[in-house]
Amino acid sequence: MLRAIKYELRPNATQRSLINRTCGCCRFVYNNALAFARENRVSNYELIKRLPQLKAENEWLKEVPSQALQQSIIDLGKAFRNKWNGHNGWPVFHRKGNNEAFRIPVACAVDYSRYRVSIPKLGSVKFYRDKPIDQSRIHSYTVSRTTTNRYYISILYEAPDRVPLDNGQAVGIDVGVKSFAVCSDGVVFENQKYYTSELKHLRVLQRTMARRYDKSREIYDDKGRKIGERELQSKGWYKAKAAIAECHEHIRNQRRDYLNKVSSQLASQYSIVCVESLNVKGMVKNRHLSRAISDCGWTLFKEMLKYKCDTVIEIDRWFASSQTCGCCGYKNVKVKNLNVRDWICPECGTYHDRDGNAAENILREGLSRYSPIAPLGAIE
C-alpha cells in the first residue's frame, strides 16, 4: 500500500527563495491553464502541450523544475474530472498564500547519514531527523510552505500491507461537543477545546494587528496634484500577522496530534469501528454551535479512522441514535433537546446516559449492517 512520510526541511536563504518562486510559477501555470480552459474546451493533454509556448513567453518559468509545472496542469485536470463526476464544483483560481506547494513525480535521493534530500534546482536540502524509509519504493514527493514560513517535504512510498488486527472486537463511537468521543464500552475521550483555550490570546493579537497600519498616505501625480489616499501596512502589521498565523498553526498541530493519538488507540484495540455519518457542513451553520463544532475536528477524525482501522462502518446521519432506547427500542423525541444529558425510558424504565446510549445504538446498528456474518458471533 502507498504511505507518505513528512519531514520538515531546513533550507538556506537561496533555497527558500527558489521554493517560493517554484510555488509561484506553479500557481501562475495553473491559473493560466484554467483561464484558457474556460475560454476553449481543450483536453488536459493540449494544456500540457501549451507549456513550452508559455515558457517561451515567460523566461522566468525556466528557472524552476519543469515536472512541477506539468503536475499543476495535471491537478487542474483532476479538478475538472471531480466537477464532471459531481464531487466538487468548478475549479477556482489559486490565490497567493493558499496551497503553496509543488509536486515532482519521481523518486528523490535521501541521505540519512547527513539528513539531506536532493531536489532538482534546489540541490541538497537539510531536514530534521526522523525515521528512515525504503528509498527503492519512492513514487513522488511534494514540497510545501506554510503561512509561518516553515517548509516540509512529503514523500510518497510503497510500504508493505498492514497486517489486519482481526481480534473480533467492535466498538460504537458517538462524537459530541461536551465529550469529544464516547465509546460503547464506556471509554470517554474528553474534548480538549484547543481553539477556545487560545481565543483570548487570539483576540489580543488581532486587536494588535488592527492598530498597526499607516493611515492617510496621500498619493500625488506628476504635477503634484492629490489623487487619493491609501492605507499601507507597516512592519509591525506584518509581525502581528505572522504571530496570528503561528498561533493558528499551534492550535492546528495540537488538534491533529490529539486526533492521531485517539484514532491510533482505537485502531489498536478494535477491528470494527462504527461511527455516524454527520453532515458537518450543515451543522456549522448553527451560529450557537459552529465554533465548538469546528474546534472538534470530526471530519479529520473520521478520515484517520478510515485509513488506520480494519473496518469502519458509517451509520446513516438520520439514524436516531440518541433518542432510541437501547433496551426496548422506544423513540423519545424529547431527547432532541441537547440540554437533556440523561433520561429514563417511559416504556421499560431503563436509565440512559445520552452519549453512552447513542454509542451502544450506533454499535448495534453498525453490526446489523455489517455484511460478513461469520465474525458477528465472535463479536457478540
> Looking at the annotation, which residues are catalytic?
174, 276, 355
- Taking the C-alpha atoms of residue 330 and residue 345, their distance in angstroms, rounded to an integer, is 7
Comparing CA positions, the residue from 107, 152, 106, 104 lying closest to residue 130 is 152
Return the H-helix or E-strand segment holding 232: strand 226-233
Residue with the three cell numbers 525556466:
62
Q: Are strands 123-127 and 116-119 parallel, antiparallel or unpaired?
A: antiparallel
Are 193 and 200 spatial neighbours (Cβ–Cβ below 8 Å)?
no
- Taking the C-alpha atoms of residue 158 and residue 3, their distance in angstroms, rounded to an integer, is 6
Distance of alpha carbon 373 from its chain centroid, rounded? 35
Phi, psi (degrees; rounded to nearest 5) at 276: -85, 145
- Taking the C-alpha atoms of residue 103 and residue 23, their distance in angstroms, rounded to an integer, is 10
Q: Are strands 351-353 and 342-344 parallel, antiparallel or unpaired?
A: antiparallel
- Say which amino acid occupies 279: N
Q: Are strands 123-127 and 2-10 parallel, antiparallel or unpaired?
A: antiparallel
Q: How far apart are the first and last CA of the chain?
A: 31
